């Protein structure tokens, strides 16, 4: 990958990664080299990803499909909705699970998987429930909000691939739009007929204790913390970077919009996550060889 050396000259998108130093006005064009160098020297680089990571794979944000739902997502994604409005609840999740089949990891996901193989990601904490990090090959993934890739029976706790929830007949989305949708037997456990639920954290539920404790430990031990595609507006997203910075970590934030934690950051980058990671990975890859595969 060509290096950006000339100030003010934008070439292709992969080379137009520009950072806004948190403490300075204006743009700094040598930030990719600087960030890559800091990343390479870090003992415990930790990455935190939010919805912006998956948007670059073309995964539709369920909030942007708001016109489709008959209730607000905040009230649909609850146990109360499962019990009192099961048609609405199941359609909401069937739609989202079905959309997962159409997307694959983007260059940002692949870059993180490569960085992990190079020993440059000690923990990957994500708010995303789409499983795209694992699909790209990342192993050290902590999912704070659970996963949309599996469903579990509320009665016997049997777990299944979430695709079992998708109706067999093809016209279910049209039926919903026409007000004729009813959930079917695909929403019930094949073993005991109990209701199936997605293995995500619903509104009103606690974060999985084990995942949260693991994330906190990683944040506290981190000396280089990277936030990718999160607005950092609410907990737990806004807690993790603060834990890291409190313990002396350098903070890199890559997000399209300003975040409340920008002032804590060493670097704030407004560019595509894929472009930023590809540029950084390109530099680091030249220096490190992955362990041999036999
Ligand atoms: Zn069951």
Cα separation, 198 vs 116, in Å, equals 28
Q: How far is CA 254 from CA 9, 202, 271, in A?
A: 21, 27, 7
Verify that 92 and 195 share a domain, yes or no.
yes
Verify that 217 and 87 share a domain, yes or no.
no
Verify that 176 and 48 share a domain, yes or no.
no
* Alpha carbon of 186 to ligand 1 centroid (Å): 12
Residues 6+ apart with CB under 8 A from 282: 1
* Alpha carbon of 161 to ligand 1 centroid (Å): 14
Verify that 129 and 228 share a domain, yes or no.
yes
The pLDDT of residue 30: 59
Note the maximum CA span of the chain.
66
Q: How far is CA 82 from CA 28, 145, 220, in A?
A: 50, 18, 37
* Alpha carbon of 185 to ligand 1 centroid (Å): 12
Verify that 28 and 75 share a domain, yes or no.
no
The pLDDT of residue 59: 86
* Alpha carbon of 154 to ligand 1 centroid (Å): 7
The pLDDT of residue 13: 38
Q: How far is CA 269 from CA 35, 56, 255, 258, in A?
A: 11, 16, 7, 10
Verify that 116 and 54 share a domain, yes or no.
yes
Active site residue 145: yes
Verify that 159 and 130 share a domain, yes or no.
no
Residue 64 belongs to some domain of the structure: no
Verify that 109 and 130 share a domain, yes or no.
yes
**pTM beyond cutoff 0.95:** no
* Alpha carbon of 211 to ligand 1 centroid (Å): 25
Residue 19 belongs to some domain of the structure: yes
Cα separation, 38 vs 84, in Å, equals 52
Matching residue, tokens 């940002």: 108
- Of 119, 103, 13, residue with least CA distance to 61: 103
Its domain, for residue 127, covers: 12-59+105-145+208-288
Secondary structure string (H, E, C) spanning 24-63: CCCCECCHHHHHHHHHHHCCCEEEEECHHHHHCCCCCCCC
- Identify the active-site residue in 109, 110, 145, 182: 145
Verify that 243 and 136 share a domain, yes or no.
yes
The pLDDT of residue 17: 52
Domain CATH for 195: 3.30.1600.10
Give pLDDT tens digits along the chain (294 positions). Answer: 333 333 333 334 334 455 544 433 333 445 888 999 999 999 999 999 999 999 999 887 776 665 677 778 888 899 999 999 999 999 999 999 999 999 999 999 999 999 999 999 999 999 999 999 999 999 999 999 999 999 999 999 999 999 999 998 889 989 998 999 999 999 999 999 999 999 999 999 999 999 999 999 999 999 999 999 999 988 888 999 999 999 999 999 999 899 999 999 999 999 899 999 999 999 888 776 655 665
Count of domains in the chain?
Answer: 2
* Alpha carbon of 205 to ligand 1 centroid (Å): 21
Verify that 229 and 279 share a domain, yes or no.
yes
């Amino acid at each position: 990958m060509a290096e950006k050396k000339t100030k003010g000259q934008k070439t292709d998108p992969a080379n137009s990664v520009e950072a806004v130093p948190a403490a300075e006005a204006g743009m700094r064009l040598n930030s990719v080299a600087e960030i890559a160098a800091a990343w390479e020297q870090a003992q415990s680089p930790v990455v935190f990803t939010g919805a912006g990571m998956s948007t670059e794979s073309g995964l539709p944000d369920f909030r942007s499909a708001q016109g489709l739902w008959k209730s607000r997502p905040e009230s649909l994604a609850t146990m109360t909705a499962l019990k009192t409005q099961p048609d609405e609840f199941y359609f909401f999740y069937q739609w989202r699970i079905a959309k997962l089949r159409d997307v694959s990891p983007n260059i940002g996901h692949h870059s993180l998987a490569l960085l992990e193989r190079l020993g440059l990601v000690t923990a990957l904490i994500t708010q995303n429930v789409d499983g795209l990090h694992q699909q790209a090959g990342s192993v050290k993934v902590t999912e704070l909000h659970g996963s949309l890739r599996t469903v579990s029976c509320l009665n016997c706790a049997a777990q299944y691939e979430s695709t079992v929830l998708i109706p067999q007949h093809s016209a279910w989305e049209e039926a919903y739009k026409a007000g004729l949708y009813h959930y079917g037997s695909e929403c019930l456990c094949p073993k005991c007929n109990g209701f199936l639920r997605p293995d995500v954290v619903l509104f009103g539920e606690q974060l999985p204790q084990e995942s949260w404790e693991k994330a906190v430990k990683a944040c506290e031990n981190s000396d280089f913390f990277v936030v990718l595609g999160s607005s950092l507006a609410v907990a737990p997203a806004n807690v993790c970077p603060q834990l890291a910075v409190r313990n002396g970590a350098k903070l890199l934030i890559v997000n399209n919009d300003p975040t409340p934690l920008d002032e804590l950051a060493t670097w704030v980058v407004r560019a595509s996550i894929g472009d930023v990671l590809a540029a950084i990975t390109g530099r680091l890859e030249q220096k490190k060889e992955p362990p041999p595969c036999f």
